[in-house]
Amino acid sequence: MKAKTLKTLFSGVAVVCILTLGFIGIPEGDLFLKINRGIDVFGKVYKEITVNYVDLVDPERFIRAGIDGMLKTLDPYTVYIGEKEGDEIDLVTNGKYGGIGVTIGSRDGLITIINLIEGFSAAKQGIEVGDRILEVDGKGVVGSSLEEVRQLVRGAPGTEVRMKIERDGVAQPIDFLLLREEIPVRNVTYVGYLEKGIGYVRLERFSRTAGDDVRSAIKELKASGEMKGLILDLRDNPGGLLDIAVEVSSKFLPESSLVVSTKGRRSDADRKYYSTEKPMVVDIPLAVLVNRGSASASEIVTGAVQDLDRGVVVGTRTFGKGLVQTVTRLSDNTSLKVTTARYYTPSGRCIQEIDYSHRTKDGLFPTFADSAKKEFRTSHNRKVLEGGGVEPDTVIPEEQYSKLFADLERKAMFFKYANRFAAQHKTLAAPFDVKDEVLADFERFLKEQKFEHQEETELKLKDLRELAEKSRYGSEFFEQAQKMSNLIKVEKSRMTERFKKELRSALKTEIVGRMKNEKAKIETTFESDTQLSVAVNLVKNRKAYDRILAGKLK
């Protein structure tokens, strides 16, 4: 390993040691003495193993394992970022990347196009959802990981990339010459009116451009109608940049409102962030939709809206990530992302769920018990609790899907059938509904695909048989169990009938998304979205809305 690389890596180790030991509260002189001793011991162990171990050791992989091992004693958000991972950091911080405008996923072990971004090279030149990538620039990618293929496809804007793809209904592979372009990250994936006066914005991430995207979405709504209520959908939004969360919050909160504050070990980590602009949405009901997938920056926005009583929160409890990370550059292509502070909502609560500063006897991190959570108050004196994420003002559980649905999703049956449907039908009726003949065709398709599914009752019966055998039950029990097994087979044969409504909805969403566009695909989910329906009714019913936000006199 080159001396420069070693120096960089060991400086990274030094940083990690400072972070690890710093939590203990060691006097500064002793701290640096312990750091120096630790680096000395680490260096000797590293050199001894790489030089004298019985098998050849890759020095770079070995040092990486050492760094990762140390960081695993902290929280999962403090990580070393190597050259390969750096692209994802750049994507969030810059809000753009060089690519051809596709989203890829793994289907039956093959790298498959699962979405296209309209207006960019892949869509313009005829790549289709469902296409399977065989080669990138002459290199076969069958058996490669998603990350390996992603690295091959992405690159500097203006450069070319050749792809060979396989497509259902086409006998021979198809060659494409595509141009990489600067692809903006899509933060807002839907904007429009759900019904007269009720605007809807779905925000899926908080990259560098999210504030501008939300501003554009609100302008679009105002330009196309009179907005009397707004729903901001943050479900499954994993978050992003803290300052962008403040920027998004500023679109709804009164100017100069405290949005979030941070506190850390170092004094420079203690900061307060205020909304810095006049709100774009004033004096109209606002509902924020959240679920367990809403985390980090999503929780900052949600917590601020709730604490300042600017709107109602609908859905299920959020993820509970109340930690702030800072990215420090270690070299030209490596960085260290370190948790440097906790953040607090305007009422003063931290919504962090897991306590990473302690471990149980089993080595697990505990969560904060409900009985230990402190109580805080919103602007209207409503009670809110710390820890465990943000609890909605109106809790609406998410729809629980059947095991059949989960198995069909896991084995990509909806996706594959939509590919075949699109190959056989060049146009789609408007409005499109999944009629009985489509459902019957899907059932035939499942048989062709040799789709296998075990009912939960089958699994329970199998467990019951095993328990009965261990307990030496008589033959009569097993005769009855066999009768039950036969009945289950009968019910399995009519599974599409039993789950007709669920299957129609899923097929419609997948087929419309394949043959129209992402916006049309999202619209197919509105009818069956109970949480969204409740949010719409709340912003329409001003009395119910005001009743939720009415607190007690202070």
Give which of 312, 318, 317 is closest to 229, Cα–Cα: 312
Helices vs. strands in the chain: H and E counts, helices first: 19, 21
Domain end: 32, 58, 73, which one?
73
Domain contains 546 = no
Burial class of residue 315 in the structure, from the number of CB atoms within 10 Å of its CB (0-12 exposed, 13-18 middle, 19+ buried): buried
- Does residue 491 share a domain with residue 461? yes
182 bridge partner residues? 98
Domain contains 331 = yes
Under a CB-based contact definition with an 8 Å cutoff, are residues 515 and 500 in contact? no
- Does residue 243 share a domain with residue 108? no
- Does residue 377 share a domain with residue 242? yes
Domain contains 81 = no
The CA distance from 239 to 249, in Å, is 13
- Does residue 410 share a domain with residue 389? no
- Does residue 370 share a domain with residue 439? no
* H-type alpha helices, 129-256: 146-153, 210-224, 242-249
Domain contains 533 = no
- Does residue 293 share a domain with residue 373? yes
The CA distance from 404 to 196, in Å, is 37
Domain contains 202 = yes
- Does residue 293 share a domain with residue 210? yes
Domain end: 362, 395, 428, which one?
395
Structural domain count of the chain: 4
Q: What is the pLDDT along the chain (554 residues), one digit of tens a residue?
A: 444 444 444 344 333 333 333 333 455 568 888 889 999 999 999 999 999 999 999 999 999 999 999 999 899 999 998 876 666 666 677 777 889 999 898 888 889 998 888 889 999 999 988 899 999 999 999 988 888 898 899 988 999 999 999 998 788 999 999 999 988 888 999 999 999 999 999 999 999 999 999 999 999 999 999 999 999 999 999 999 999 999 999 999 999 999 999 999 888 899 999 999 999 999 999 999 999 999 999 999 999 999 999 999 999 999 999 999 998 888 877 889 999 999 999 999 999 998 888 777 777 777 777 777 899 999 999 999 998 899 999 999 998 888 899 899 888 899 999 989 988 888 898 889 999 999 999 999 999 999 988 889 999 999 999 999 999 999 999 999 999 999 999 998 888 899 999 999 999 999 998 888 889 999 999 999 999 999 999 999 999 999 999 976 65
Under a CB-based contact definition with an 8 Å cutoff, are residues 161 and 136 in contact? yes
Domain contains 551 = no
Domain end: 395, 412, 442, which one?
395
Catalytic residues: 296, 307, 321
Domain contains 388 = yes
Question: Per-residue b/e over 333-372, b at no fewer than 16 CB within 10 Å?
Answer: ebbbbbbbbbbbbbbebbbbbbebeeeeeeeeeeebeeee
- Does residue 147 share a domain with residue 200? no
pTM of the predicted structure, to 2 decimals: 0.84
- Does residue 449 share a domain with residue 375? no
Domain contains 177 = yes
Residue 161 sits in a domain whose CATH number is 2.30.42.10
- Does residue 243 share a domain with residue 117? no
Give which of 225, 291, 229 is closest to 544, Cα–Cα: 229
Residue 336 sits in a domain whose CATH number is 3.90.226.10
- Does residue 340 share a domain with residue 196? yes
- Does residue 419 share a domain with residue 322? no
The CA distance from 499 to 442, in Å, is 13
Print the domain residue range for 32. 3-73
